[in-house]
Amino acid sequence: MDSSQIKRKINRFRILIIGRANAGKTTILQRVCNTKENPEIFNSAGQKVTCTCISWQHKLTFSQRGEHDIDNEMIFQNNPGFIFHDSRGFEAGGESEYDKMNKFIAGRSKQGNMKDRLHTIWYCIPMDQASRCFTEAEVKFFSRCDTGSIPVIVIFTKFDALYAAEFTRLIENGISRKDAKQLAPKHAEESFANGTQVKLLYDPKIIQRPPKCHVCLPDMNKDDADCGALIERTAGTLDDQVLQQLFVSTQQTNLELCMTYAVEKYLPHHLPAASIIDYRPGHLQSLLPKMRCPHLGLK
């Protein structure tokens, strides 16, 4: 089945994004869709919602939060191949908000038509807040929420907030300011990878339903921000090859991933074995004229 057939059958890739207020969800989705515009909102009947209370760019009052509907579909016109659903986090809404989200996930996972199912869940945890430990809501989600076969990826957003502490620590250890600035990101990643928060996320004694994986995203507010790691991890968690092809062909920010999947997963089925000699980065361009890989839109 090639990409055009897949998109006729499934149409769009559907993602639920969950996270606390100010977790950076808007910015991530904008980066994934390669746009700075806000999404258009549609209700379950396909009607456009114009209520300003759903705008992500302004803080919502308690009464406005009550009007939020997780069933609403958010679509960025720059890449309408994605449908996003927003769960604004349920730490403030208590059990009722959690139940709504749980019901939504259960309902979408049972849809008979694949295009109506939920394909991936992104759970955002910001690292710029005073308390960087998991909240009660997050422990509840990873301990109780049955996501079935839907892969869950934890996104540690605003990860650059950890750089300052590492910078200070390096300075205190006698490293020059110039070198400390360069080393801080790597040290922050290493410290975090070996820290209690990551270990807790996969601790079977506490977390009964751990995510498939996690990713750390820094500097998403910068013009040259790179969300390639999120794209790659998401593609890697998809067991269904059709969904994997759909996701890779829909995302617009990582051409290298499209080429990698075309070469490593699909090219061998579309070229004679003798033609596949060397597809290292320096040689890949020479192969492209030979590639007829409709799976990923490469013709």
What is the residue whose two structure tokens read 């999947």? 261
Q: Is the pLDDT of residue 46 over 90?
A: no
224 to 31, 34, 155, 218, 233: CA distances (angstroms): 10, 11, 19, 11, 20
- The answer to whether position 69 is within a domain reads yes
Average pLDDT over residues 77-84: 93
Q: Is the pLDDT of residue 111 over 90?
A: no
Cα–Cα distance, 155 to 23 (Å, whole number): 10
**Number of domain units in the chain:** 1
Higher-confidence residue of 51 and 90: namely: 90
Average pLDDT over residues 178-199: 92
- The answer to whether position 121 is within a domain reads yes
Q: Give me the chain's average pLDDT, please.
A: 80
Q: Tell me: the pLDDT tens digits for 240-257? A: 888 888 898 887 666 666
What is the residue range of 179's domain? 10-240
Average pLDDT over residues 4-9: 63
- The answer to whether position 98 is within a domain reads yes
Cα–Cα distance, 154 to 228 (Å, whole number): 15
Per-residue confidence band for 290, with pLDDT thresholds at 50, 70 and 90 = very low
Q: What integer pLDDT is reported at residue 189 of this predicted model?
A: 94
Cα–Cα distance, 48 to 67 (Å, whole number): 15
Q: What integer pLDDT is reported at residue 74 of this predicted model?
A: 95
Q: Is the pLDDT of residue 180 over 80?
A: yes
Report the predicted TM-score, pTM, of the whole model to 2 decimal places. 0.81
- The answer to whether position 54 is within a domain reads yes
Q: What is the CATH number of the domain that holds 131?
A: 3.40.50.300
Q: Is the pLDDT of residue 91 over 80?
A: no
Q: Is the pLDDT of residue 139 over 80?
A: yes
Least confident of 215-219, 240-244, 261-265: 261-265
Higher-confidence residue of 243 and 10: namely: 243
Average pLDDT over residues 111-119: 88
- The answer to whether position 272 is within a domain reads no
- The answer to whether position 215 is within a domain reads yes
Strand intervals (E) in 218-271: none
Residue 161 burial by CB count (10 A; 0-12/13-18/19+): exposed, middle or buried? middle
- The answer to whether position 48 is within a domain reads yes
Q: What is the chain's alpha carbon radius of gyration, rounded to the nearest angstrom?
A: 21
> What are the backbone angles phi and psi of residue 240, rounded to the nearest 5°?
-80, 120
Those residues with Cβ within 8 angstroms of residue 160's Cβ, 6 or more apart along the chain or in another chain: 185, 218, 219
- The answer to whether position 286 is within a domain reads no
Cα–Cα distance, 227 to 178 (Å, whole number): 26
Strand bridging mode 48-49 / 120-126: unpaired
